[in-house]
Amino acid sequence: MLFARSFRLMTDRFHERLAGQDLEPLRPAHGFAFRYLAVQPSATAVDLAAHLGVSKQAATKTVAELVDWGYVHRSPHPTDRRAHALTLTGKGRAYLRLADALWAELEAEFAAVVGAGQLAVLRHALETYLADADPGGLRPVW
User: Is the residue at 110 inside a domain?
Assistant: yes
User: Is the residue at 117 inside a domain?
Assistant: yes
pLDDT for 142:
61
As a whole-number percent, the residues of the chain with pLDDT over 70 amount to 97
Domain span at residue 51 reads 2-129
Average pLDDT of the chain is 92
Residue 126's pLDDT band, with cuts at 50, 70 and 90, is very high
User: Above 80 in pLDDT, residue 99?
Assistant: yes
Number of H helices, E strands in the chain: 6, 2
Per the structure, how many domains does the chain have?
A: 1
Question: Which segments of 1-142 are extended strands (E)?
Answer: 72-76, 84-88
pLDDT for 136:
65
User: Above 70 in pLDDT, residue 98?
Assistant: yes
